A and B are shown apart, each in its own frame.
Chain A
Amino acid sequence: MLRLDEVQAGYGRVAVLHGVSLVLEAGEILCLMGRNGAGKTTLLRAIMGLVPVGAGAITLGGARLDRLPAHGMAAAGLGYVPQGRRLFAGLSVAENLEIGLMAGGGDDALRDEVLGLFPRLAARLGQRAETLSGGEQQMLALARALCLRPRVLLLDEPTEGLQPSMIAAIREVVAAKRAQGVAVLLVEQRLDAVLPVADRVAFIETGRMGPVMEAGALRADRSVADRYLGV
């Protein structure tokens, strides 16, 4: 579904990704792991067109993504939840969702469907996004991305700094989307947060891809993770 072939990308003259190749299938959760500065966020931003791709190709269902403008990614089927949530802080929960729904041509049925996944948000529709708890803000960021009906979800450390009950709730939603055939590329730093949901785990180090392993194999032997995560 989503395919990266020998992608090189970076900021100005500073190359961050050096020939990254990766395949993400429909209905799969692929976790991308690596140390700080390994290139995880840059990889997601390159897919979203926020970092220029210098060489290689990014395709979704065979169509080139790296030639689209950044605002064309949502229509192509990508939903992105960046690190730090990046909500419209001064707008209410309902208005945040409305912006997403308008972009994706969504209707009330989709809104209700999304809110059904996040009952906590449904109870706070009039509340300003900046006044939500960290977990609720993360839920809202994810809910807004789901308003686009994405085929691929890119999530950048969605559980960072959240309490366990929130992590469980978000994990549940991500798993539900996988069951509907959505492909999920999940960036995380903590192995414990990854293993309960991942199908496969890919490692990245200094902008180069390391091994890609089945999650089951990693559960049995964590030595590869220890090497790439430095624990």
Chain B
Amino acid sequence: MRALALHLGLLAGLLALHFVLPAYHHGNLARVMVLASYGVGYNLLFGYAGLLSLGHALFFAAGMYGAGLMVQHGGLGAAGAFVVGVVVAAGVAAALALLALRTVGVGFMIVTLMFAQAGYLAILHFSEITGGDEGFVLPQAGRMLGSVDLSTPDARYLAALALFSVCLLVSLALVRAPFGRVLVAIRENEERVRMLGYDTQATKWVAMVLSGAISGAAGAGYAILFGYVGASFAEAQYSILPLLWVLLGGAGTVLGPFIGALFMFYLIDLASGVTSAHMLIAGVALVVLTLFAPQGIMGEVRRRLWRGLP
């Protein structure tokens, strides 16, 4: 109950910020919430099941292109395009999981990385459809949810909050359900879980599909809310970013991805205002945080203050 109250409290706080934040931070926070949704998807696989993927950009991009291409070429509105994006990402994750889960450890990292790179190259190769390196801007019709224009700051913020809320609460429900406990047990000792009678391969497959679907929802949401679909979102950098958010915020904590994404977004934003070598400042800050809070921010909260924090 306490945990649910904490998470609902965060969502209520984000809703309250909608009414008081200045325009610049209002826009930033909308972006952070969408990116944090991506982190939530990543965290499900990495933080809970212990599977370190280096190819999640493939799922984010699958959602983004699935939705974007449906708007661009299929004439769908925001709702239909979003659903298609999620389904495409889940399908890609389901297929990739069948292959990638035959490997473990470094092998899994390499297989996921290679498929993500293949996805990125496919986007560049089929440039007539995907827009190649430049991507494409979504037409206004594809950013309409009924009569609501999702490109306006207010609607965009609230839609981003709705997306993040669903991802966060789904994640919370999953990790508190028996499914989540089995995922954690797999992370701790997969062979033991198998000996207790669980089909760990099937469980990991489901986790990867869910993780891909949530990441795809974030990608689709990003395309619709910010109106742009581009190949840069399929690059390796977008596979590393959610890993960093999750590590900083606290792997295996539901709030970790949001805290990590928020922290890193503003760290880079503030550092870039001081110097052009802003990534150096960001890097030093990350090293310091990693040294003094190796379990991430929420991981430290769990260790020091709240043992039962999900």
Contacts and interface: CB of A to CB of B under 8 A. Distances in A.
Interface residues of B, number: 18
Interface in B253-299: none
Contact of B197 (A74, A82, A95): A74
Contacts of A95: 181, 184
Contacts of A75: 197
B185 interface: yes
A104 B198 CA distance: 10
Interface in A52-92: 69-75, 80, 82, 86-91
A103 B198 contact: yes
Contacts of B194: 70-71
Interface string B179-200: 0011011001101111111111
A89 B187 CA distance: 10
B192 A86 contact: yes
B185 A91 contact: yes
A35 B260 CA distance: 52
A87 to B, nearest CB: 7
A89 B188 contact: yes
Interface in B115-143: none
B178 interface: yes
B247 to A, nearest CB: 17
Given A88-B189, A91-B185, A102-B178, A72 B197 contact: yes
Contact of B181 (A50, A70, A82, A102): A102
Contacts, number: 61
Contacts of B185: 88, 91, 99
A135 interface: no
B159 to A, nearest CB: 37
A148 interface: yes
Contact of B196 (A50, A89, A103, A126): A103
A70 B195 contact: yes
A200 interface: no
A144 B198 CA distance: 14
Nearest to A102: B178
A186 to B, nearest CB: 17
B197 A148 contact: yes
Contacts of A89: 188-189
A179 to B, nearest CB: 24
Q: Which 9 A-B pairs have the closest CB atoms?
A: A74-B197, A88-B188, A103-B196, A103-B197, A71-B194, A86-B192, A71-B199, A99-B185, A70-B194
Interface of B: 178, 181-182, 184-185, 188-189, 191-200, 307
15 contacts: A48-B195, A50-B195, A73-B197, A80-B195, A82-B192, A86-B192, A87-B192, A88-B192, A89-B188, A90-B184, A91-B184, A99-B185, A99-B193, A102-B178, A102-B181
